[in-house]
Amino acid sequence: MARSQSPTSVITIERFIMEQERLHPEATGELSNLLYDLCLAAKIISRQVRRAGLTDILGEVGAINVQGEVQQKLDVFANETVRHAVEHTGRVCVVASEEDEHPIPVQVREDRRGGKYVLMYDPLDGSTNIGVNVSIGTIFSIHRRSATKKGPGTLADCLQKGRAQVAAGYILYGSSTMLVYTTGQGVHGFTLDPTIGEFLLSHPDIRSPDVGQYY
């Protein structure tokens, strides 16, 4: 019988992100809050994926995305969920999705400066697996805006080198829902506990083995 975690040993993703933020005195909290926004989107998508056989969310919508792929209903749902989770917060200036032909500038905040981050994502990678119950996932990358200083972001803000990322990760929807991310301070995995609706630290400091059978 599996041993349950002691309440004192449970580390939520919110607590973990806050502890990481304290390591950077110059932090404004905006990146932390953007990560929380993605956590919310992950929970909403996870709920819909788990109900896929019970609701009208399986199948195609009849449209072709920019990659030349037939869009699935869950593709569209996941894409809109991620975008809606971040576009009204004032934390991002532009979002770019694998499902959209062009980056979508985000409306500026009241101070007219616009968000300081750029979010690029694939809302539901492996969506052809949806109908056969194989794992699917969301992939995301976060950069600081670079080409523009204020107002909505542009394509130029999205076209940055990989090493300029400030955070990156993925969310896996399978037998459990797992969020894995890094901000350059190690790679850490969090599993969604559906009984409390919270991501809990389950795989701290993930590393690839020096020698392994599969890579």
pLDDT single digits (tens) 129-144: 777 778 899 999 999 9
pLDDT grade, residue 2 (50/70/90)?
A: very low
Report how far residue 112's alpha carbon sits from residue 135's, in angstroms, rounded to the nearest whole number.
Answer: 41
Domain 12-20+28-171 has CATH 3.40.50.300: no
Three-class SS state of 71:
strand
Of the chain, the percentage scoring pLDDT greater than 90 comes to 58
Which ranges of the chain would DSSP assign to H, the alpha helix? 13-21, 30-50, 73-86, 155-158
Query: Is the pLDDT assigned to residue 1 strictly greater than 50?
Result: no
Average pLDDT, the chain: 87
- On whether the CB atoms of residues 164 and 141 are closer than 8 A, the answer is no
pLDDT, tens only, 109-125: 666 567 999 999 999 99
Helix (H, G, I), strand (E, B) or coil at 37: helix
Q: Which residue has the higher pLDDT, 40 or 89?
A: 40
